[in-house]
Amino acid sequence: MCNCHEIDVRDLGISVEERTVKLKDLLQRVMQGSPFYQEKFRREGIDIGQINTLQDITKLPLTTKEELRDAYPLGLQAVPDEKIVRIHSSSGTTGSPVIIPYTKNDVEVWADMMMRCYRLAGLTDQDRIQITPGYGLWTAGIGFQAGAERLGAMAVPMGPGNTEKQLQMMLDLKSTALASTSSYALLLAEEISKRDLKDKINLKVGIIGSERWSPKMRARIEDELGIDTYDIFGLTEIYGPGIALDCSLHDGLHYWSDHLLFEVIDPVTGESLPDGTLGELVITTLTKEGAPLIRYRTRDLTRILPEPCKCGCPFPRIDRLLGRTDDRIKIKGVNVYPGQIEDVIHRVEGVSSEYQIILERDAGRDTMFFRVEIEHADDLENCRVKAKKLDKAFQDLIGVSVEVECVAMGALPRSEKKSRRVIDNREM
């Protein structure tokens, strides 16, 4: 029994045998109903009769976001029209948007996964959940809403923006939980602190998602709002938010393995990577009907954590998301991601979250300069000690050596865009 679900998890079908049956059923279903996968498998010469174990999934081709875009508008639909009850769409900032059709069952499975997230975060039918993500084509708000209703909690469906109204409702309705992006949670926290309202609010839990946030930002939100935060993960192509959440131990995110199969691959070669190795998360929707996806490349970086969680929840875990595969910096043959750098910084005391990376190439040799703000930067001995600790952490955690330069707090330019943290002079 786990607090993420009231019923015994043995009823959910998370054993290897049960998940294998679900995978084979999924392949049968797409071969019958999905023109998208019929065509893709025919083109690639796939015989689904060869897929007999969960490991065999690596014999199937990967599915990319570009392919989903090319299927616009309803090319991913894998069931007859009368089974579809709703669509959602991912943003179309580049190219066509992706449209995902949902059956009644898909909508219910999603609500159930979201309800488990709330439970894992310790919420019950006594709670009042203020929902600030948007409602509409994008999946976020309605997912939080459906899960709250399934839990029996009181949903306060605010949607984004209008901070005055948010604060008023938070006070008057005594909201106990906040569903939000990390940047909006921080904005609310700052407003609450500015108005000296911290003692008047009733929030105890934040369910925070949709963007990567550094441990330092998380600590600030928790401190200023006086809450515990839970990191929620999801993407529109795969239901929406609520497919994974960290538990009270905050050591990785549990994912709902009765509905989803997670793998990690090398983002460059596409090869499967062993558990524990950092790479690109690939998801197969075992039970989805409207638009099932097989080996979908999320472009999100994480690793599968092989050990069971100390919290006792039987669902497996991934590490917290460490950024996007597109943000990769290649240095001395090693791939480095911004999330890993934040990890390094987090482990050395007295170092701020502000840094810059300068890459130089001299006589064919790459050097990585790491410029970072530290407390008491005028103390040279302190700088030397911090630089040594940082270099060691880089070597231990990422496998590259860096030249550290410590600067005073506030010395680095502030920018909204994380890309300006990396200055690559190697092309010149």
| 120 scored as a contact of Zn ion (CB under 5 A) | no
Residues 105 and 32: their CA atoms lie apart, in Å, by 18
Q: With contact defined as beta carbons under 8 Å apart, do 219 and 208 qualify? A: no
Shortest separation between residue 80's beta carbon and Zn ion, angstroms: 40
- Residues forming beta bridges with residue 124, ordered by sequence position: none
Residue 107 or 311: the one with the smaller Cβ distance to Zn ion is 311
Residue 290 or 316: the one with the smaller Cβ distance to Zn ion is 316
Q: With contact defined as beta carbons under 8 Å apart, do 328 and 336 qualify? A: yes
The single residue among 309, 357, 374, 377 that binds Zn ion, judged by CB under 5 A, is 309
Q: With contact defined as beta carbons under 8 Å apart, do 391 and 402 qualify? A: yes
Q: What DSSP designation does 223 have?
A: H
Residue 78 or 120: the one with the smaller Cβ distance to Zn ion is 120
| 313 scored as a contact of Zn ion (CB under 5 A) | yes
Residue 32 or 248: the one with the smaller Cβ distance to Zn ion is 248
* Sign of torsion over alpha carbons 393, 248, 219, 209: positive
| 318 scored as a contact of Zn ion (CB under 5 A) | no
Span of 45-53, 260-268, 304-312, 318-326 interacting with Zn ion by CB under 5 A = 304-312
| 311 scored as a contact of Zn ion (CB under 5 A) | yes
| 305 scored as a contact of Zn ion (CB under 5 A) | no
Residue 31 or 311: the one with the smaller Cβ distance to Zn ion is 311
- Write the DSSP string, 239-303: BEEEEEEE-TT-SSEEE-TTTEEEEEE-TTT--B--TT--EEEEEEESS--SS--SSEEEEEEE-
Shortest separation between residue 250's beta carbon and Zn ion, angstroms: 9
- Binding pattern for the stretch 243-262 against Zn ion, x by CB under 5 A and - elsewhere: ----x---------------
Shortest separation between residue 228's beta carbon and Zn ion, angstroms: 14
Residues 128 and 176: their CA atoms lie apart, in Å, by 5
Q: With contact defined as beta carbons under 8 Å apart, do 87 and 99 qualify? A: yes
Shortest separation between residue 218's beta carbon and Zn ion, angstroms: 17
Span of 86-94, 309-317, 350-358, 394-402 interacting with Zn ion by CB under 5 A = 309-317
Q: With contact defined as beta carbons under 8 Å apart, do 48 and 28 qualify? A: yes
- Residues forming beta bridges with residue 102, ordered by sequence position: 86
Residues 137-166 that bind Zn ion (CB under 5 A): none
Instruction: Please state whether beta strands 260-265 and 253-255 pair in parallel, antiparallel, or not at all (unpaired).
Output: unpaired
- Residues forming beta bridges with residue 155, ordered by sequence position: 129
Residue 2 or 264: the one with the smaller Cβ distance to Zn ion is 2
User: Total binding residues for Zn ion by CB under 5 A?
Assistant: 4
- Comparing CA positions, the residue from 238, 237, 176, 241 lying closest to residue 208 is 241
Shortest separation between residue 216's beta carbon and Zn ion, angstroms: 23
Span of 196-204, 210-218, 240-248, 364-372 interacting with Zn ion by CB under 5 A = 240-248
| 121 scored as a contact of Zn ion (CB under 5 A) | no
Residue 113 or 201: the one with the smaller Cβ distance to Zn ion is 113
At residue 50, the 3 state secondary structure works out as helix
Shortest separation between residue 22's beta carbon and Zn ion, angstroms: 23
Shortest separation between residue 131's beta carbon and Zn ion, angstroms: 24
Residue 225 or 318: the one with the smaller Cβ distance to Zn ion is 318
Residues 302 and 409: their CA atoms lie apart, in Å, by 30
| Torsion angles phi and psi, residue 155, rounded to 5 | -85, 135
Residue 68 or 313: the one with the smaller Cβ distance to Zn ion is 313
> What does the binding site for Zn ion look like in residue numbers (CB under 5 A)?
247, 309, 311, 313
